[in-house]
Amino acid sequence: MVKLSVIVPFFNVRAYAPDTLRSLRANAREDFEFILVDDCSTDGTADLLRRAEETVEGVVVRRHARNAGLATARNTGLDAARGEYIAFLDGDDWVAPGHYTRLLARTEALGCQFVRTDHVQVTGTARTVRRVPHGPRGVVGDPRAAVLPATRTTSVDYAFAWAGLYRRELLDRGLLHFTDGLRTAEDRPWIWRLHREAESFAVLGPLSHFYRRGVASSLTRIGDERRLDFIRAYDQLLAETAADRDAETLLPKAVRTYCAVIAHHVKDIGAFEPSAARTLKTLGATALANMPQPLLNDVLNTMDTERATVLRKLRRRPAGIKETTAA
């Protein structure tokens, strides 16, 4: 029986994949499987995965005929997973030796449906500890209760799917699949759904997952329209929250979070290609117009002046009207 399935998408990360693959080798067990999904890489990554399949215990490779993005690649791995527990790892990150064995033992001892974990952010040679914004460690709680309060950073704002471990029952209930085709912010509606629908979770503090920041191929550093998928992701998040039984309680948090992300991207509009910048303004204005207006007014009245000013200016722009001049 397979105890743990680790799903690892790869796309053009030839420079970093050796570290990832070495870390999997240092975590191998007879009852672990590592599902490596090549999302149609063109830089030699596929050759590395082919060799790993031949030399690393438990490695299984799945390949896409066309590049489909991180969300779809993770879904490919989920469809192939046989494990009692599920974990995710990105193809340019790595974990310390024995990470999964220790995490699995602690999760089983707690008996909860999923755990979230702290991690180490790696930017060049700098390393920074990043904590799950949730107080108690090693204490089983209600995931729904961890969504709020609306005015503070909470567990749903720490959306990294790879920072955790998930029982198979969540996969069987349809809670672990991602929205196909999302290129960015795919973790956002995913983590909100998990916190709304699961019954138990806990936070653990092992600092043995290393997240590589600032990779050139990351979509957070690319300025074309793929980066605008955050709009589709947050529209989904808002719609699903509005349909929840506790919508009145949860929507203020969803609206505030969406507004903060729109403001962040508009403030960074110079990083976008001109056509993508124009589309960002159009989609941002439309998103604001579609939000519950009383909630939006509350957010703008309580948000810091800089972001509120950005959003009010965007709000005055007619939604759905594309510019024909440069942004």
pLDDT more than 90, % of the chain: 91
Q: CATH number, domain at 200?
A: 3.90.550.10
User: Whole domain around residue 134: which residue ranges?
Assistant: 4-218
Residue 294 shares a structural domain with residue 211: no
90-104, 212-226, 277-291: which has the minimum mean pLDDT? 212-226
Query: Angle between the 274-290 and 229-242 helix axes, to the nearest 10 degrees?
Result: 10
Residue 239 shares a structural domain with residue 129: no
Give the model confidence (pLDDT) of 114-167 as tens digits.
999 999 999 999 999 999 999 889 999 999 999 999 999 999 999 999 999 999
Confidence band for 296, pLDDT divided at 50, 70 and 90: very high
Return d(Cα 151, Cα 255) in angstroms, integer. 11
What's the structural domain count of the chain? 2
Give the model confidence (pLDDT) of 88-116 as tens digits.
999 999 999 999 999 999 999 999 999 99
Return d(Cα 164, Cα 143) in angstroms, integer. 13
Return d(Cα 131, Cα 287) in angstroms, integer. 30
Residue 92 shares a structural domain with residue 156: yes
Residue 84, in any domain of the structure: yes
Residue 67 shares a structural domain with residue 110: yes
Strand pairing report for 114-117 and 201-204: parallel
Model pTM score:
0.93
Residue 175 shares a structural domain with residue 36: yes
Average predicted confidence (pLDDT) for the chain? 94
Residue-wise DSSP of 157-207: G---TTSEEEEHHHHHTT-S---TT--SSTHHHHHHHHHHH-S-EEEE---
